[in-house]
Chains A and B, each alone.
Chain A
Amino acid sequence: MSETGDALSEQTRLLIAVRDRRDRQAFAALFAHYAPRLKAMLRRGGMANAQAEEVVQEAMLAVWRKAAQFDPARASASAWIYRIARNRQIDMFRREGRPVPDELAEELAHDPDAADALALDQETRRLRDALGALPPAQREMIERAYLGELSHGEIAAVTGLPLGTIKSRIRLALTRLRHELKDLRRP
């Protein structure tokens, strides 16, 4: 439950419970948290109500089915679910489906080192704080980009790159992630 201490975020722990124990109660809790947020995201992206709920349904089902691939050392629950939802959304609405990168070698998928997961979780929290600390206008632009309302090119054209703090945050997250990925390289 701690959002500030040295424990994993509640959502990440719920997703691990779904992954490791196929815990339906944990899944229901994840659904209660993410379904309304995913719907809000899709609606902001211009989707009609019924369509948005259809995507939410498919996205949450994919969360359940693909939970085995969740690695908290490489993605927070929110980042992973964001990706899953985008994948399902495009699979449903684009004839060709969504091209997704090849997974890294499977035997490396479950990193037992909890410290890495914790560090990533903290980085994610800092990223969220940085987002919250932005001036409203800039924050709005970032939101519009990741909600799919505007392309990053369009945003750059309007504002001349307002991404300052967020970019440095992304870079930090990046350093962290890149470090992770080095250990994950195939032999």
Chain B
Amino acid sequence: MPKTEIKEHIVMRNRDIENIRDLDVYLANGGYAMAKQALTSMTPAAIIDEVKKSGLRGRGGAGFPTGVKWSFVPKELNPKYLVVNADESEPGTFNNHEIIDENPHQLLEGIVISAFAIGANVAYIYIRGEFAYGARFLEQKIAEARERGLIGKNLFGSGYDVEIYVHRGAGAYICGEETALLESLEGKIGQPRLKPPFPAVAGLYAKPTVVNNVETLTNVPRIIEKGADWFRSFGTEKSPGTKAVSISGHVKNPGNYEIPLGITIREFIFDWAGGMRDPNLPLKFIIPGGASSNWLTEEHLDLPMTWDDMAAAGTMLGSGAMVVLDTSVPVVRAALKVDEFFKHESCGKCSPCREGTHFLVKVWERIDEGHGRVGDIELLADVGKQMLGKCFCPLGDSSVSAVNSAIKFFRPELDAAIDAQH
């Protein structure tokens, strides 16, 4: 099957237009015209409606329909906030990064339109602490746009104000989770909040707040410009549009790709990313949607990359970070690395995750170091069961993905790792 061609990039337009990061280039390519149109000639309801019609789903991981999320915001409660999730900390994910560095104005324009749509006058970009350059860069871009009257007070004479502030995180993966992000933004310790209330009703400073991913919002100006039908010409019925996907691991051409949703994993790995790096080392398994996702193997290569197909296969599209691993990778080591990450990032709020991640790592570690004990696999499975679905937030549950995947697909290898020691 030939590689599906993408007509044009929706979010990574930097791939189509050189230097679109410069305001002049962006303006020359119709930049901020949609913000102007939205603020001067559209009602917020009309914008929300168009976004709903487009079927745009959140790119931050859960794939929740964006227009629907916006319509949950109660009209009568003010002020409202728009918060842009630029925390991008899922291992293997680096597509938001590219948008920020290379196509920042489209993101900012998306923020202006979306803020107007939900009735927010203030938007915060919560950016991963390590993206120091990106944060400064965005601030500079905001300043440029503000100078030209594209961000700030009384935009385009509409009487509507939108201020955008950049806030750097302090290096915690959990702060990508929207409620932990809001806590952190409020200056508190970054830990998830109990839901309900959901942020749409009581978010930042207990005010109605929409949290959206960078990529999600970067789609918005193009949807307004070209309409929902155009947007739906990409992707599938239930997963319309494109997705910026980061692929890494043992592929020839790792990097970011903007794919139309619905192509198969096989096409993505072999046609887009150039296939396996070493012809002698075949594919062993795939971590398809960030470290949190359940693994896939060769048998799943024909799975279409959509939210629903991935979910049906027991995993997820997640943040759009695919890690492809060949047979050089010992399963125990891979699982250990994944769980070390979750252990390191566990916020500590709930007991099963705080202690469970620590425990999983201890057991993986001893197997990896050659001190595995008989019954350790059952132990991992049992502790995993006690964690899965019992943690306060998805982070703790995520740490069980590696356990369950490794046991599901590589039980003999695990048993062998332990038997070798006895």
Task: Tell whether A pairs with B.
Answer: no
